[in-house]
Structure 1
Amino acid sequence: MSQALERLHQQVAKLAEQARLFDNAKWFDKNRYIQAQPSLFDRTVFATKSLILSDYIDEISAQLKHLPPMENRHAYGFAIQRIATQVEAVIKVLKSTPVWAKENKSNYKKKNKIYQKAVQKIMQSSHELYQELSQNHEFERRLMEMIDIRKQQLDKASAEQASQINQEILALHARLGRCRKAISATEAKIQAVEKQQNR
């Protein structure tokens, strides 16, 4: 997961360099339509209002630096998806210029696939960890429910039935112990990922 995030950082760093070349070449100076606009991009894509491409890369970099914690998976997923949309919007502008043509003519598809895989991997890893945790908590709840049911049956059971029910309760407790171990392991994985992100 940290590798996927690292690739995303590398992609943004590469775009920052291309945006700098783009701004230095003053591609928009001769475009009256662009010069008449308050912003290069729609306000639903970027909060930044500027005709300098590097300003938008700064916004992307700031968002990458301050991603929400993974435990808030909706906010985290939304932030990653927003960054993906913004990167694609910047790429669209760059693609229409000689800067992009020179640097990326043969490698665009390959680079774009790597970037998309990096985003997908981040989303998938985050989603899978929390899905795993949710499933384990559900197993824990069901096992505790089953133990409670067996204990209620124990009160009305004969001596022979009580022996069998007690064995079932012991087996359920063993399963519950393994389930709680799995919950702790998943929580440890999540904490490790969060530590890597916050470095």
Structure 2
Amino acid sequence: MQVNALEKLQQQVTSLKQQAEQFDRAKLFAKNRYMQAQPSLFDRAVFQTKSMNLVDYVNEIEEEVASLPPSDHRHAYTYALERIASQVQAVFNVIKSTPIWEKENKSRFKPRPKQAVYKQAVKKVMQSSHELYDELKQNHEFERRLMLMIEERKMQMENASPAKAQKLNLEILSTHARLGRCRKAISATEDKIQQVEKQQLR
């Protein structure tokens, strides 16, 4: 499923780049003083790029796709994929929401059918809020168990021999590392929930 979603997204990015190049060639912002005064088309939370050319943002998307983490790193992979999906949607929103662009290109550019295609692509890589809340619940339960394990090892150390205490201390350190990864996963899931809920409010 992840591979198919990724391939679909790559196809959408290729298509989006062609449309962004067409959009930029039309120079729709050239006579708009407000737009020309802006340092960037998008918020820094969505793109690192600062430009008034859409194709520059699609280039950033391509770099994000090229540097995706391995798919077996599920949390990082899903989070990165969702960020890319939101970037794709953001660029497409500029194209479809510009009336001049629609008017000048309605004969060769059909925004509504394309919008459906992009929404479908985004939907394939976005988890539903229900699934994410289940994931968050599981991560919080895992966090609780790890904290209990650490407390148990600390109690055992009080009456342990030096050799046993050293072993328990190593286990505590290892469990702390797992706890840190767990908490990062919790933060990532919470961010994903916010992203999905923002998409649903649009």
Tell me what 2:120 maps to.
114
Q: Residues 56-108 of structure 1: CA distance to partner in whole angstroms, max 9, x if unpaired?
A: 00000111111011233222122111111111110111012227754224513
Distance in 2 between residues matched to 1:32 and 1:24, nearest whole Å? 18
The question of whether the paired residues in 2 share the 8 Å contact of 1:18 and 1:100 is answered with no
The question of whether the paired residues in 2 share the 8 Å contact of 1:12 and 1:57 is answered with yes
Distance in 1 between residues matched to 2:30 and 2:115, nearest whole Å? 29
Measure how far apart 1:109 and its partner are.
4.5
Q: CA RMSD in A?
A: 2.6
Tell me what 2:39 maps to.
38
The question of whether the paired residues in 2 share the 8 Å contact of 1:94 and 1:100 is answered with no
Q: Residues 17-73 of structure 1: CA distance to partner in whole angstroms, max 9, x if unpaired?
A: 000001111111011111111111111100001111100000001111110112332
Tell me what 1:29 maps to.
30
Tell me what 1:61 maps to.
62
Indicate the structure (1 or 2) with the bigger Cα radius of gyration: 1
Counterpart of 2:42, as a letter, is: F
Question: Residues 149-160 of structure 1 correspond to what in structure 2 (within 5 A)?
Answer: none
Indicate how the Cα distance of structure 1 residues 3 and 100 shifts in structure 2: closer, same or farther if over 3 A, else same: farther
The question of whether the paired residues in 2 share the 8 Å contact of 1:46 and 1:86 is answered with yes
Q: Which of 1 and 2 has higher RCO (CA within 8 Å, sep 6+)? A: 1
Q: TM-score, normalised by structure 2?
A: 0.55
Specify every segment of 5 or more residues in structure 1 that has no aligned partner in the other structure, as ranges. 135-199
Indicate how the Cα distance of structure 1 residues 64 and 88 shifts in structure 2: closer, same or farther if over 3 A, else same: same
**1:5 aligned onto 2:6:** yes
Query: After TM superposition, which residue ranges in structure 1, 4 or more long, deviate above 6 angstroms?
Result: none
Q: Residues 95-148 of structure 1: CA distance to partner in whole angstroms, max 9, x if unpaired?
A: 12227754224513431343134324xx69xx9xxx9xx9xxxxxxxxxxxxxx
Q: TM-score, normalised by structure 1?
A: 0.56
Distance in 2 between residues matched to 1:100 and 1:111, nearest whole Å? 19
Counterpart of 1:118, as a letter, is: K
The question of whether the paired residues in 1 share the 8 Å contact of 2:92 and 2:115 is answered with no
Counterpart of 1:85, as a letter, is: S
Instruction: Give the paired residue count.
Output: 126
